[in-house]
Amino acid sequence: MLRLGVNIDHIATLRQARYRGLDHGEPCPVDAVRQAEAAGAHGITAHLREDRRHILDRDIWAIRETVSTRLNFEMANTPEMIDIALRLKPDAVCIVPENRAEVTTEGGLNVVVQAGAIADTATELNKAGIEVSLFIDPDPAQIEASVRTGSPFIELHTGAYSEAYDDEAKRATELQRLTKAAEQAKTLGIEVNAGHGLNYKNTRGILAVPHLNELNIGHSIVSRAVTVGLGPAVREMLGLIDDSPPNG
């Protein structure tokens, strides 16, 4: 069964637009956790960025206490975040790159260059019983490097596919890249998740990629929730992936 992880970062983004610097505000990320899980989400994803631009420290601890499915904690590979992860004890950690100038994460980790440091982190988190995933572009060298880190999962960056979706030829090219990456990862013993830029228009297409365990989707669901509510938005997305045949 393909799982849906709902990323609630942009619930906090909306709150921070009005309540930045205050110890209260709306909408509440914890309420979003409850509503998403009640609607059938298989897990919750939240990214505590180094600059605390949306999810705050108080949020992530309250989210950990609230989640009844699975918590996927997105984080940069820094000593501060490793320490938080070891104390927070999420079900999974997804290590992502961070750039202070970006609006949201815009590219995959360069595991080829950072393999040693990432391997050290993966070892520490795995020993603590925390599942580790690496957010990478669908590139053969990055997948091979991911194997060397000992991380059991990768999350394929689907941004290029999402941006190319309206161009049939480019979409086909990006789907082929993702498919080859998923096949390579599976052959090398790594499990595969995917996410970034997926929405109600392009998610069905990504289901052609084999061996996927989980899709992590945030902005599109939160955007849809503005008009229909979070529960219905989550159920709509689940409907898109639940009707799909097994693919791997």
Catalytically active residues, by annotation: 47, 74, 196
Cα–Cα distance, 125 to 66 (Å, whole number): 22
Burial label for 12, CB within 10 Å (0-12, 13-18, 19+), is buried
Q: What are phi and psi of 101, to 5 degrees?
A: -80, -15
* Residue 3 β-bridge partners: 214
Cα–Cα distance, 163 to 232 (Å, whole number): 25
- Burial string for 149-168 (b: 16+ CB within 10 Å, else e) reads bebbbbbbbbbbbbebbeee
